Each structure stands twice: as structure tokens, then as C-alpha cells.
Amino acid sequence: MAESSIVEFEERLIIHAPANVVERMLVDAPALPQWRTCMRENVETSDPIMRPGTTVTFVTTQYGLHFDYIQIVSQYIPGQTLAYRTTKGLFFIDTTYEWVEDHGSTRLTCHYRLCVPKNKQFIKRLVERSFQNQSRDDNKNLKHLLETGAQRYRAASDLTPDEPRLESLT
């Protein structure tokens, strides 16, 4: 019987926005549905600003089926790193975002580690391709929102002077 397998990949992008603006969008938990394509239904967060221990629960649709997910923030180093992992879901995923300011823009590196349990190996290639596509779409969404100024912050933060907008995201 096959063991669990690990799929790792990394994506690097330049976002033409200051690092504090990128960071604010990454840690604004209620704003995640704006750019995370998997977080479209029943998104709830334990804290408005992500910090270690913050949980994000949501329902996602994959392969025509609905799955409950819980993600927990495992690390937040202001000005540098945000990491979280799933504790409930179809697959276990570790995600780490690292950012650095670069002449008014931000270099963002996204590390992904997907664990496909041994009882789900038969769909490993499909899952790997789907997850990579979804992650790339999320990063494109984030980049577009931040570069066009279309982001809507939902939580108050000292990272930028912008006030949160409490209107619906839909």
C-alpha cells in the first residue's frame, strides 16, 4: 500500500505595491474571499487579523463535492512571514508567504506543501494539478487587487491608514 505523498512547489511574484499593503491584505482574515478562490462559502475567522492560533473555517467545492476546511495560522512574523496549515480538509496543506519590499514593490514568495494521504493516492495527479492551478489563480487575484487598488480591507490595522470597508464582498 502506498504511503502518503508530499507535493511541494513554490511561486515567486512581484507585486507593484508597497510591502505593508501586501502584508495587510495577507493578514486581513475577513478579506480572504476576495482573492482566495477556494474560500467562497461559509468563511468564518476566529480573529480579524491573522496571528498564531487564528483559525479560518470555510467550505470549498472540489471535484463537484463540498468539503469543510479548517486552517490555523502557525506563524506570523510582522513584515516578513505568514504561515498556516490545514487541520481539517480533504488534504493537508502547509502554506507560507514570505515578502520583502523592493524599490516600492514587493517580492512575494509562496511555498506550498500538500500531503496526499495514502487512501487518496489514486487522485494524486489530479489534486496536484488542481491545487497548483488554484494557488496560481489566488496569487493572480491578489496581485491584481493590490496593483489596481481594488482591495477592500475588512479589519482595522496599523499597517496602512485605510479604514476597513464593512460592505458585503459579494
Q: What Rg value do the Cα atoms of the chain yield, rounded?
A: 16
Asked, for residue 50, whether it belongs to a domain, the answer is: yes
Domain of residue 33 covers 5-148
CA dihedral 79, 81, 82, 87 (to 10 degrees): -160
Asked, for residue 28, whether it belongs to a domain, the answer is: yes
So what's the pLDDT on residue 81? 98
So what's the pLDDT on residue 162? 83
Asked, for residue 90, whether it belongs to a domain, the answer is: yes
Asked, for residue 155, whether it belongs to a domain, the answer is: no
Amino acid letter for position 139: N
Asked, for residue 62, whether it belongs to a domain, the answer is: yes
Label residues 5-19 b or e (16+ Cβ within 10 Å = b).
Answer: eebeeeeeeebebbb
Listed residue (75, 89, 106) closest to 13, CA to CA: 106
| Residue 102, C-beta contacts closer than 8 angstroms, at least 6 positions apart | 14
Contact of 52 with 73, CB cutoff 8 Å: yes
Asked, for residue 158, whether it belongs to a domain, the answer is: no
Average pLDDT, the chain: 90
pTM of the model: 0.89
Listed residue (89, 141, 88, 87) closest to 110, CA to CA: 141
Number of domains present in the structure of the chain: 1
Least confident of 27-36, 39-48, 97-106, 142-151: 39-48
What's 90's domain CATH number?
3.30.530.20
Asked, for residue 106, whether it belongs to a domain, the answer is: yes
Asked, for residue 84, whether it belongs to a domain, the answer is: yes
